[in-house]
Amino acid sequence: MTYQNRIHPNVPGVDQSDRTVPVNLRQSGPTPVQLLISTRVRKSPFWHLSIEAGAWRATVYNRMYHPRAYARPEDGGAMAEYRALVNGVTLWNVAVERQICVKGPDAEDFVNTVITRDATKIAPMHGKYCILCNDKGGILNDPVLLRLAEDEFWFSISDSDLMLWLQGVNTPRRWDVEINELDVAPLQVQGPLSEDLMADLIGDEVLDLPYYGMMETEIEGCPVVISQTGFSGEKGYEVYVRNATETAEPVWYAVRGIGARYGLRVIAPGHHRRIAAGILSWGQDMDSETSPFQVNLAYQVPRKKTADYIGKAALERQRTQIEAGHYPFELKLVGLKMGGLPITDYAPDFWLVCDEGETRCGYVTSPWYSPDLGQNIALAYVPWGKSTIGTRLKVELPEMYQETSGKSVDAIVSEVPFVPSAHPSAREQRKAG
């Protein structure tokens, strides 16, 4: 066998000619390795508490260790965690969502320059889901943006080094602001019983919070910020623990203590539910070479924002091209309903999508089995010409999920969200603002 035959090609049949660095489509399958725990990657203040709660698997997110499984496969695995999320209440360690603070007299103007939405419309003690783009219109991050005061914003970031970007934008100092990471670590309390738990924990005033509303309070004498937000598509809250290096333990145990009355379960972030809700994951469904117009985030690019912002010229140019019927991208993110045996764990690869003639043309980013629909669902990139709802495709699932060995499964482009969110203005909605 020659060396050339031994290497694993990056599936050249899928057109990624509009990318500088193509998405890695090598199909390596599960690769058993041991995660090295070292001082090079940060442990969150909740890391040891997650281990105590049974975390047995982790990944790295924002250069921090991130627990990704608590229920063992023999105890139901991720689907047991899913049932706890949609039927009860769950606690998530999401300290990896680092909090980057922009504070100072020019904070609003600076933030308005780096996000595509209008920061002037965010009132103090309220937040919004937003995106930040580079000058080519590529998505750099999609944080929840919290406004603590007229002159203070927190970016609750997804998986990229946003602080370095923000500091770079303000070098040399054009805005009178300080940009720093805070000693704040968030937890999420998610599920239909989360409202009852939080009212029991901190009082009935939490019941008056609107979606993306915020409040300052204390848990066990420790200062926290509460927002009615989350990554699940279910009712839920985020608890931003201040001075987390010192206060992580009392807050964690207080939530678990009160939560025991409601059957609280510590779980990993519910990616199966967020896929059903159409909530995107940065680095998986999009990255810095992805335009918001490719991933159903056009509502994040409001026409009425008059202020200039980074990426505005490129995004408006893309909008004009699309409205004229000329698509500046090869692929578009769509929802797929597909066959196959139930997908009950994280996909180790971007599985390949084919047209009905079995020609590879795209790839799956986020697949899972939906108990609500009784079938597999996924987010996937396909050519624009094959992105219309109702288009029939094929997906090359791994052997363990194939209904017939060696055969791709049927798929159909479907409306997203697959299962609506519990929130009236959640991340997946496509309304400009």
Across the range 396-407, mean pLDDT stands at 95
Residue 354 banded pLDDT, cuts 50, 70, 90 = very high
252 and 200 within one domain = yes
The mean of the pLDDT values for the chain is 94
Residue 404 banded pLDDT, cuts 50, 70, 90 = very high
Coil, strand or helix at 277: helix
**How many alpha carbons fall within 13 Å on the CB side of residue 252?**
23
356 assigned binding-site residue: no
pLDDT in the model for residue 11: 83
Across the range 135-164, mean pLDDT stands at 97
Residue at 330 is within a domain: yes
Coil, strand or helix at 420: coil
Residue at 214 is within a domain: yes
Residue at 160 is within a domain: no
pLDDT in the model for residue 10: 85
258 and 283 within one domain = no
| pLDDT for residue 158 is more than 70 | yes
Calpha distance 99→291 (Å, rounded): 24
| pLDDT for residue 287 is more than 90 | yes
Identify residue 63 by its one-letter amino acid code.
Answer: R
391 and 327 within one domain = yes
Across the range 236-243, mean pLDDT stands at 97
**Model pLDDT for residues 29-42, shown as the tens digit of each residue:** 998 899 999 999 99
Whichever domain contains 316, its CATH number is: 3.30.1360.120
Can you give the residue range of the structural domain that contains 198? 184-262
Q: Would you call the peptide bond into 417 cis, given omega within 30 degrees of 0 as the criterion? A: yes
383 and 324 within one domain = yes
**For residues 289-299, b (16+ Cβ closer than 10 Å) or e, as one string?**
bbbbbbbbbbe
284 and 255 within one domain = no
CB 266 within 8 A of CB 70: yes
Total count of domains within the chain: 2
282 and 257 within one domain = no
Residue at 409 is within a domain: yes
Instruction: Report the phi/psi class of residue 82: left, alpha or beta, with left for phi > 0 and alpha for psi in -120 to 50.
Output: alpha
The β-bridge partners of 141 are: 132
**Model pLDDT for residues 217-230, shown as the tens digit of each residue:** 999 999 999 999 98
Question: What is the full DSSP assignment across 66-84?
Answer: EEEE-S-GGGTHHHHHHHH
pTM of the model: 0.95
389 and 288 within one domain = yes
| pLDDT for residue 1 is more than 60 | no
Residue at 120 is within a domain: no
Quick one: which of 167, 414, 115 has its CA closest to 292?
Answer: 115
| pLDDT for residue 365 is more than 70 | yes
350 and 242 within one domain = no
362 and 285 within one domain = yes
289 and 400 within one domain = yes
The β-bridge partners of 69 are: 57
Which run of H or of E encompasses 201? Answer: helix 194-202
| pLDDT for residue 432 is more than 50 | no
What SS3 string covers 296-365? CCHHHCCCCCCCCCCCHHHHHHHHHHHHCCCCCCCEEEEEEEECCCCCCCCCCCCCEEECCCCCEEEEEE
Residue at 243 is within a domain: yes
Residue at 244 is within a domain: yes
Residue at 47 is within a domain: no
292 and 402 within one domain = yes
CB 122 within 8 A of CB 86: no
291 and 237 within one domain = no
